[in-house]
Chain A
Amino acid sequence: MKLDELIQSSGEWLRGEGPEADIVISTRIRLARNLSQFPFLTRADEGARIEIERILSGQISRLAARKSLNYFDVTSLQRLDRQFLVERQLISRELSEGQGPRGVGFSTAENVSLMVNEEDHLRIQVLRSGLALESCWQEINQIDDLLEEQVCFAFNEQLGYLTACPTNCGTGIRVSVMLHLPALVQTKEIQKVFQALHKIGLAVRGLYGEGSQAMGDFYQISNQTTLGKSEEQLIKNLKDVIPNIIGYERRVRTALVKENRQGLHDQVSRAYGILKSAQTITSEETMQHLSSLRMGINLGLIEDLPIPTVNELFIFTQPAHLQKLRHTSLDSGERNVARASYLREKLAPQN
């Protein structure tokens, strides 16, 4: 598979299906693992890094038959391609901007990704559309088991899987659910959610678009600690609390409609109007209007647009995607024009 082919499609996790997909964008689980016979990367010289990459990329090829994985040597990718994979959620910023031998293997459907020589020797990630904690865990646990048949991961009985950063040791697991919470943000009720989550040891992070500007209304909720609880317990913590947040967002949406249906309808229609007709638009403004539009569709206020199209627009209007679509590098002003033109094209009424 060539990297450029990816621009023709989008990841399965964007298809907007799965339980609670109107509010839960995606579920992600990642595991941090290190080969026990090598130092962590801060102390690994070029030779060790090459050897780690050789062993792990070999393992990824071995898994490829079952998981249809494609392996890419990240050092040989252009900056734009690396950025593209970051926007696609297939690699982290850290892997993209890192140094030395490193790589990634990901599945054709973009549900599974294995990063080599990131902060740890190996970061396994499974991503799904909607709320799918169990199936993510099943799949990632199986991949981990398959790898473990062949390689020896650093582990000790007291501290579990040993990781470069002590904040990840134990299970090495990070379970995250990405939520779209426009009504809670609009009514500022979101602060109450933050407080409640914090009390039970869950972390909340806003998503970031270009630069460090917050990307409207998307929040990622994940476990804060990794040691002392089993993977199942950590998953259950999230599983117990997510439905409450979903219910809360739904109630506030209903209340907003009840209080001021016309005002809300006006707001989302204007957002739609701007996206359909702007001649130049920033990434930040796009995110904000797409967020309104997405809520409008889920409330039945806008009926001629499917959710997966909107989900895709969030990804395809990001800088590297626009440049890949245009086959050329664009500065920020040019990107705003290209973004507006892409949005007009995608949102034009179907004839």
Chain B
Amino acid sequence: MKCQTCPSPATLHITEIVKGVAAEHHFCEECAQQYLSQAEAKGNDLPAGVVADEEGESKLKELDQLACPNCGITFREFRKQGRLGCPHDYIAFQEELIPLLENIHGETQHFGKVPKRTPDDSRKQYRLIKLRGELKVAIAEESYEQAAKLRDEIQRLEQETPVAPADEE
């Protein structure tokens, strides 16, 4: 979803009730700041739910340093673009994400369809993401020996789990 006033992705979702009428706003961080300070100046009803954590500056800086070991995205990057980098981020940023999810959904435990695959698979999947990331770096650094090793390891793992479709019958 895009910010409603500029082309950046929307990372803050604000629901506001003005004179009893609910309105939804979707902003990027910058436009949200602007909107909220304007709204305050106008003395509107306070937003009913701003989906963002109001931490102190120093706490934020600390948070921003956090990076996912699989895909390398930092928490700061996530906050900026509103999109996570890989499935493992839900675990890597769990502490920070849970309050956010509670704010968005009012719940923090999935209660719906469950795929038939075992969660055992997912550990292997994260390992694959990580190896692919390392492979990219190895190639960029021209460490071809390392790259070849990684490629073998990826192939081995892929053959273990039928993650890709068995090519057309």
Contact = CB atoms under 8 A, between A and B. Distances in A.
A58 B106 contact: no
B97 A43 contact: no
Contacts of A34: 87
Interface in B104-126: 104-117, 119, 121-122, 125
Contact of B110 (A36, A152, A227): A227
A155 B83 contact: no
A59 to B, nearest CB: 6
13 contacts: A39-B133, A62-B168, A153-B117, A155-B122, A161-B113, A162-B90, A167-B1, A225-B106, A227-B104, A227-B105, A227-B108, A229-B111, A230-B113
Interface string B92-110: 0000010011001111111
Contacts, number: 172
A45 interface: yes
Most chain B CB within a 10 A radius of its CB, from A36, A37, A195, A233: A37
Nearest to B73: A43
B132 A59 contact: no
A100 to B, nearest CB: 15
B22 interface: yes
Interface in B21-51: 21-22, 24
Given A43-B85, A61-B168, A160 B110 contact: yes
Interface in A145-177: 148, 150-162, 164-167, 169-171, 173
A152 B83 contact: no
Chain B contact patch, size range: 35 or more
Most chain A CB within a 10 A radius of its CB, from B91, B109, B161, B166: B109
Contacts of B128: 37
A164 B84 contact: yes
A119 interface: yes
Given A165-B82, A230-B112, A39 B165 contact: no
Given A225-B104, A228-B107, A39 B71 contact: yes
Given A155-B122, A165-B1, 15 more contacts: A36-B121, A39-B132, A48-B132, A156-B87, A156-B91, A159-B90, A165-B82, A169-B101, A173-B112, A195-B22, A225-B107, A226-B105, A227-B108, A227-B110, A230-B111
Most chain A CB within a 10 A radius of its CB, from B15, B110, B111, B122: B110
Interface of B: 1, 13, 15, 17, 20-22, 24, 70-73, 81-87, 90-91, 97, 100-101, 104-117, 119, 121-122, 125, 128-129, 132-133, 136, 158, 161-168
Contact of A40 (B13, B84, B132, B136): B84
Contacts of B101: 159, 166, 169, 227
A55 B164 contact: yes
A141 interface: yes
A166 B111 contact: no
A59 B168 CA distance: 9
Interface in A1-55: 34-43, 45, 47-48, 55
Contacts of A47: 136
B165 A156 contact: no
A47 B87 CA distance: 18
B91 A170 contact: no
A141 B105 contact: no
A162 B111 contact: no
B14 to A, nearest CB: 13
Chain A contact patch, size range: 35 or more
Nearest to B19: A191
Contacts of A154: 87, 122, 125
B99 to A, nearest CB: 11
Contacts of A164: 83-84
Contacts of A48: 132
A86 interface: no
B88 to A, nearest CB: 9
Contacts of A231: 112-113
Contacts of A41: 83
B121 A166 contact: no
A37 B125 contact: yes
Contacts of B72: 43
Nearest to B70: A39
Most chain B CB within a 10 A radius of its CB, from A35, A43, A156, A233: A43
Contact of A155 (B1, B22, B115, B166): B115
Contacts of A194: 21-22
